[in-house]
Amino acid sequence: MWDFFGSDVGKVALGGLIAFAGQLVASLLGWAKEARFAASKKRKDAEYLAMRLVLVFDDLTAACYNAVHDPLIEDVEGISSSTVKDPKLSLPTDGDYKALAPRLMFDIMSMPNRLEGIMGGLASVARYFGSTRLSRIF
C-alpha cells in the first residue's frame, strides 16, 4: 500500500487527499466559529429581552398593587368607583422571544391573554354581585 503513495498517481492522490482534508478542517473551523457566534448572540438577545421583561413585569406588579390598594370613591348613591386604571401588560414587540427557552417563551407570550381572562372573570363576578369593588381585586 505504501508503494502506491510512492508512485506518481499515489502522490497526486495523496495531494488531493491533503487538499480535501485541509478544506474539510477549514470548513469545520468556520462552522464552529459561526455556531459559537450564533450561541453568543442568542444568549445576549435573551439577556436583553429578559431585562426588558423585568421592567415590564415590575410596572405590572406596581399597577396590580395600586389596583388592590385602590382607595375607591363613592358617589352620592353609594356606588364605588376606582381611582386607578386597570393593570395592563404590554410586552415588547421587537424582542426575539425565540432566544428564550420554549416553555418560558410560551408562558410569557400567553400572559396578556391570561390577564385579560382574569379581568373578564372579575368583571363578570362584579356584575353578578352588583359591585364594582370586586372587579378591582386584580
d(CA 102, CA 13): 49
pLDDT score at 131: 53
In this predicted structure, the answer to whether residue 129 has a pLDDT above a threshold of 60 is yes
In this predicted structure, the answer to whether residue 115 has a pLDDT above a threshold of 60 is yes
3-state SS, 64-112, equals: HHHHHCCCCEECCCCCEECCCCCCCCCCCCCCCHHHCCHHHHHHHHCHH
pLDDT (tens digit, 9 = 90+) per residue, 6-17? Answer: 788 888 888 888
Considering the entire predicted model, what is its pTM? 0.66
d(CA 1, CA 21): 20
Average pLDDT of the chain to the nearest whole number: 86
pLDDT score at 132: 47
pLDDT (tens digit, 9 = 90+) per residue, 16-38? Answer: 889 999 999 999 999 999 999 98
pLDDT score at 49: 94
Residues with Cβ within 8 Å of residue 86, at least 6 apart in sequence: 63, 67, 119
In this predicted structure, the answer to whether residue 136 has a pLDDT above a threshold of 60 is no
Identify any residues that bridge with 80 across adjacent strands, giving them in sequence order.
74
Query: Per-residue confidence at 130, pLDDT binned at 50, 70, 90?
Result: low
Residues with Cβ within 8 Å of residue 129, at least 6 apart in sequence: none
Using alpha carbons, select from 122, 111, 121, 54 the residue that is nearest to residue 88: 111
Alpha-carbon distances, residue 54 vs 41, 68, 99, 115 (angstroms): 20, 21, 16, 17
pLDDT (tens digit, 9 = 90+) per residue, 39-77? Answer: 899 899 999 999 999 999 999 999 989 988 988 888 788
